[in-house]
Structure 1
Amino acid sequence: MSNCCGPTKTKQICPECGSSCKSVGMLTLYHQVRFPENQSIVTDSYYFCPAKTCPIAYFSNAGNTIPKQHLRSYQSIQNDALCYCFDIDTAQYLSASNDHKAEQIKAFIVQRTKAGECACEIRNPSGQCCLANFKRFE
């Protein structure tokens, strides 16, 4: 079961763009960063920068940085993903909204998350629950 909706994350300011960034676990980094870059990640406290235009994905307290282009989910970030677990982006959700089917999508995601069938900690580069993306979008 995913731990994405668990304890509150700590925050830091992105050294590149100044955005407020929340902490992520090492598990998230190891699954998000592509090979071979994932082999050289230094264990530390890392933060995810959510700013789409910022080139930095993760930065650490010790000054280590990982660019967004090194992430498996880089294309999903560029496509404004809402739910990384079930592969739903903003354009798809807007289209469903126009067809009055957006609530069905959201209900499906809520149901799967409550059943522990999401993988936000691994699939979402922020390591956080994807449901928060819907709240921000709406």
Structure 2
Amino acid sequence: MSNCCFHDAGSPCALPQSSLGFCPACGEKGKAVAILTVKSLVRDHTRVSASASFSFCRTAACDVVYFSSETTFRKPDIKVRVGIKETEDPVPLCYCFDYTREDVFRDIGAIGSTSLPDRIKTEVQAGFCACEVRNPSGSCCLGDITRAIQQARLIVVDRVSNMSQSVKG
């Protein structure tokens, strides 16, 4: 189990981080990611130099996932779907416990809340998280879960507002 899930949802993973760089495709600043993460998730791990410093590109529309000064890995090079870069369901959010954006939307749509963050925290406290080798960002998913909950709530509020306007109209 890593220590990354014991930090606030938005804080970086506790694993040693390499220096940050800018994505060669979109030009946005990347987030340093542990070499263990890259080696674990790139299809051909022999292409991952153990001495390279990799960054993770968080730009949704960019096809690049990992980059270093020598190498770039794009979505097809990765073993798993990269949730932040996906638009078609199912969009993965939690790689350790297999929760998707649809799980969040279903809960929020049905009952207005979700217990996913609590379920994930319980599993983490039991020692079952492996974010550094399962999550392409190399860090805890709780930030992504929180963003999905906020997005789902906005959609539900918008639907209710549209329905009430239709009834009045």
Q: Structure 1: which 5+ residue stretches go unaligned?
A: none
Alpha-carbon distance, 1:69 to partner: 0.9
**What is the DSSP-based 3-state SS (H/G/I as helix, E as strand, rest coil) of the residue aligned with 1:47?**
strand
- Indicate the larger mover: 125-134 or 68-77: 68-77
Partner of 2:81: 74
Larger Rg: 2
Which residue of the other structure, out of 51, 60, 63, is the alignment partner of 1:55?
Answer: 63
Note the C-alpha offset of 1:12: 2.7
TM-score when scaled to structure 1? Answer: 0.84
Distance 1:114 1:133, change over 3 A: same
Per the alignment, residue 99 of structure 1 pairs with: 110
- Deviation, 1:130, is 0.7
CA RMSD of aligned residues (A): 2.2
Cα distance, 1:115–1:101 mapped onto 2, change above 3 Å: farther
Q: Which runs of 4+ in 1 moved over 6 A?
A: none
Q: Which residue of 1 aligns with 2:158?
A: none
1:38 aligned to 2:49?
A: no
Distance (Å, rounded) in 2 between the aligned partners of 1:96 and 1:57: 29
Measure the CA separation in 2 of the matches of 1:113 and 1:124.
14
What 5-or-longer segments of structure 2 have no aligned partner? 5-12, 151-169
SS at match of 2:62: coil
After TM superposition, give the deviation of residue 7 of structure 1 in Å: 5.5
Equivalent residue, structure 2, for 1:129: 140
Give the helix-richer structure, 1 or 2. Answer: 2
Deviation at 1:101, TM superposition (A): 7.2
| Count of aligned residue pairs for this structure pair | 135
Q: Percent identity among equivalent residues?
A: 34
1:118 aligns with 2:129: yes
CA distance in 2, matches of 1:113, 1:128: 13
Cα separation, partners in 2 of 1:100 and 1:12, compared to 1, 3 Å: farther
Conserved 8 A contact 1:22-1:47: yes
Deviation of 1:53 (Å): 2.0
Task: Find the aligned partners of 2:3 and 2:138 in 1 and give their Cα distance.
Answer: 9
Deviating more after overlay: 40-49 vs 94-103: 94-103
